[in-house]
Structure 1
Amino acid sequence: MTRDAPPEVLTSRLGYLLKHAYLRLTEESSLALAPYGIDGRELAVLAVLDAHDELSQLDAAGKLGIDRTTMVSLVDALEDKELVERRRSPRDRRKNIVQLTPAGQERLQEAESARKEMERRFLAPLSSADATRLVRTLQSLIGAPMGAGQAPDST
Structure 2
Amino acid sequence: MSSGDGPGPGLSGNLVYLLKHAHLRMAELTANAVTPYGIDGRELGVLLSLAGREPASQQEAAQRLGIDRTTMVAMLDALEGKGLVSRHPHAQDRRRNVVELTDAGRETLRLATDANDAAEREFLTSLTPKAAEQLRNSLQKLVLPPDD
1:48 pairs with 2:45: no
In the alignment, which residue of structure 2 is the partner of 1:149? Answer: none
In the alignment, which residue of structure 1 is the partner of 2:104? Answer: 103
In the alignment, which residue of structure 1 is the partner of 2:20? Answer: 19
Alignment of 1:129-140 (within 5 A): 129-140=130-141
Give 1:115's aligned amino acid.
N
Percent of aligned pairs with the same amino acid: 50
Aligned length: 143
In the alignment, which residue of structure 1 is the partner of 2:65? Answer: 64
- Runs of 5+ unmatched residues, structure 2: none
TM-score norm. by structure 2 comes to 0.92
Q: Distance in 1 between matches of 2:146 and 2:117?
A: 20
Give 2:11's aligned amino acid.
L
Q: Are the counterparts in 2 of residues 136 and 145 from structure 1 also a CA contact under 8 Å?
A: no
Task: Compare relative contact order (CA 8 Å, sep 6+) and give the higher one, 1 or 2.
Answer: 2
TM-score norm. by structure 1 comes to 0.88
Task: Provide runs of 4+ in structure 1 moved above 6 Å.
Answer: none
Q: Are the counterparts in 2 of residues 29 and 118 from structure 1 also a CA contact under 8 Å?
A: yes
How much has 1:97 moved relative to structure 2?
Answer: 0.5
Secondary structure, aligned partner of 2:98:
strand
Secondary structure, aligned partner of 2:91:
coil
